[in-house]
Amino acid sequence: MSGAWGGSPTIIRRDGTGYEMLEEGLVWNPSWSSDGKMIAYGSGGSIHLFNLKEHKARVISSKDTGLEAKYIGSPSWSPTRPEIAFFFLNDREPTREEVLAGTALPTKQGFALLDLQTNKIRVLYTFEGPFTSYRLPALWSTDGNKLVFHLEAEGPVHNPTGLMVTNREGGSLQKIGEAYQVLWEPNGNRLAYVDANDYRIVRIVSFNGDTYTIKTIIEDNNTIEGITWRPALKS
């Protein structure tokens, strides 16, 4: 669980019993492993992998990654493999005042993939910018082969921000567009998003290997908020 500025990681059973705080401290962006046995979350510039059976966390610091990173966080567990995508930041994060004053220096940042079986790390995407206001976790496709990076920047950045898609190998990086809300289709290979340049438009991205097509499905007179996919119906 987390509030607007993070919170202590806490679990509860679906029947309302078993309420338990796992660790003390502020955490962000919890992500379950596909087997439900572990939870990953960012805390204090590191990533914690909490094992529910052993009731303890393995802490992965920025130094453990082998990257020139001073901060790692926003973990996102693969739905099909023992892999975690995470955000990294190489230098000191500028203050909001520096960003607004235009004095913030560019900082190398991006997303990488950690293989929990081999402990090898592969950089998926890097860019330079003084600040990224929302470090949203990477979004995995349901087959675990593609990842979406949804970047919303505050202040100028040196590479375009928006909706970026790559495969898990870190190849074929493509910018799809400027997005506000992004959702993968459940058990599918399509992506829906609200156009950040016009909040009255919803687009669908269909993938075929490393190529894609975009179709506009809604053009409304009102601002669109809170899109979601309908689950497949059982016959």
pLDDT per residue, tens digit, the chain (235 aa), is 444 456 788 888 888 888 888 888 878 789 999 999 999 999 888 999 999 999 999 999 988 988 888 889 999 999 999 999 999 988 776 777 777 777 777 778 889 999 999 999 999 988 877 655 557 899 999 999 999 988 765 555 545 467 889 999 887 888 888 888 899 998 888 999 999 889 899 999 999 888 899 999 999 888 998 899 988 765 4
pLDDT of residue 170: 84
Q: Using an 8 Å Cβ cutoff, are 28 and 2 in contact?
A: yes
pLDDT of residue 232: 72
pLDDT of residue 47: 94
pLDDT of residue 147: 93
- The pTM for the full model equals 0.85
pLDDT of residue 153: 59
CATH 2.120.10.30 location in the chain:
26-177
What is the topology classification, in CATH, of domain 26-177? Answer: Neuraminidase (2.120.10)
CA distance 218 to 203: 7
Nearest to 195 by CA among 227, 153, 160, 172: 227
Q: Transcribe 10-21 into DSSP letters.
A: EE--TTS---EE
